[in-house]
Structure 1
Amino acid sequence: MAEKPTVMAVQKALESAKKRNFTETVELAINLKDVDLTIPKNRIQEDIVLPSGRGKSVKICVIGGGELALKAKDVADRVITPEELGAIADDKKQAKKIANDTDYFIAEAPLMAVVGKRLGTVLGPRGKMPKPIAPGADPAAMIEGLRKSVTIRSKDRKTFHAPVGSADMSAEEIAENIDLILKRVESHLEKGKYNIASAYVKTTMGPSERVL
């Protein structure tokens, strides 16, 4: 049976990439057409749980206190208590470092307004505003989902990128992730796939292969 076009493109991208002494990320570049992204409602931002996962560690930070902080201690990469929040917000250098080092933030729902006010200028432009969670809830399931997730975000540019796996994953696994992302991107566009000019897959430092 013939390989699917996406699988073939991923296979080519993986094979044509030089061997590195680290595991490269595999990225998807999507180019849109006939979409006015200066209009905010036309922009795309969505978290997608990838069927084959990211193939690399995804860092999660939980902002909250009490029971939530206790439950998050063993499953999150970092926990910021309400008491620590102010000190971090006042130290812009530290706030930026945490924002850059963290893939996703989760915050106790009553703290969302405070987080927005104190850290919004750092997290907002990076598309990393926290996802709310009920006080005292067990964050394990949410964290597990986020560890397999990727954020697609077009901002105001017609070309945007998303990680779709790592070079040590199989071409089939990466292709499965790509097909789902393209399907979700299409669902946000007025003309669906006809608003996608092209899509390319590549390893971080390797040549790109056309997927669409």
Structure 2
Amino acid sequence: MFNYACRRAKMDKKDALDVIKKLREASPKRKFVQAVDLIVNLQDLDFKKPEHQLDFYVVLPHNTGKKKKIAAFVDVDMIEEAKAACDVVIPLLQFEDYAKDKKRIKKLAKQNDYFIAQSTIMSKIAATFGRILGPKNKMPNPKAGCVIAPKTNIKPLYDKLQKTIRILARNKPLVQLCIGREDMVDEQLADNLFTVYDQLIHHLPKEKNNLKSIFIKTTMGKAVKVEV
């Protein structure tokens, strides 16, 4: 494991760029493009307290390199708009068919990263899909802007979700997520790393003091420990 210590009390963008350079040194090239993962171990949190639980979204400066599949639950008046923007469209008229086939809903949940919902049919979405999408953290979430009013232009939201990640820690003191791929330039990876770090500490009750350790690594590379 490669150990890299940041010089400042809190990471800044220059520190993040230095970390990415050290990551390159610790990560030999493979025959495939590796993901770049961030692993954060937390401390001094009591998850019985709602204010200590983490559940928020971060819009990264740069796409992580992996296309996110996005589905939309819509009524008849938004079908064409949704088809033009999203990967999968589930019209209200098909809800009864889905309600009879739980395996179909499970497949839908597995194949899509985010779900957009037309606000006027949200109760019907919850009744039909909630029992399966809910436990998988896939229900349309207002925090991510995924519950929309009728006649909303969906394309800007679709593009935003391509750069959106969810930071979730409600039971275990661990956050693990992908911030990019090794074929991205150093500055892009550093921007994404710093953005996640900055948002994370601002959502923690004791900010930096709730960070036990941070690692960054490629899929098959050595972990680089970042002391912050």
Return the TM-score normalized by structure 2: 0.85
Structure 2 regions of 5+ residues with no counterpart?
Answer: 1-12, 141-145
The corresponding residue for 2:87 is 77
Residue 156 of structure 1 deviates from its aligned partner by 0.9
In 2, distance between residues paired with 1:127 and 1:10?
A: 30
Q: Deviations over 1:130-182 (max 9, x none)?
A: 12111122111111111111111112110121211112111221111111111
The SS at the match of 1:127 is coil
Structure 1 regions of 5+ residues with no counterpart?
Answer: none
The corresponding residue for 1:66 is 76
Q: Percent identity?
A: 33
Alignment CA distance shift 1:186-1:80 (3 Å): same
Give 1 or 2 for the bigger CA radius of gyration. Answer: 2
Whichever residue aligns with residue 194 of structure 1, its letter is: N
Q: Deviations over 1:41-88 (max 9, x none)?
A: 321111111012222211111110223220121221111111222322
Contact 1:60 1:105 in 2 (8 A): yes
Q: 1:9-158 alignment to 2 at 5 Å?
A: 9-130=19-140, 131-158=146-173
Whichever residue aligns with residue 152 of structure 2, its letter is: A
In 2, distance between residues paired with 1:9 and 1:168?
A: 16
Whichever residue aligns with residue 178 of structure 1, its letter is: L
Contact 1:17 1:203 in 2 (8 A): yes
The correspondence for 1:164, drawn from 162, 172, 179, is 179
Whichever residue aligns with residue 85 of structure 1, its letter is: F
Return the TM-score normalized by structure 1: 0.90
Alignment CA distance shift 1:68-1:114 (3 Å): same
Alignment CA distance shift 1:88-1:207 (3 Å): farther
Alignment CA distance shift 1:114-1:198 (3 Å): same
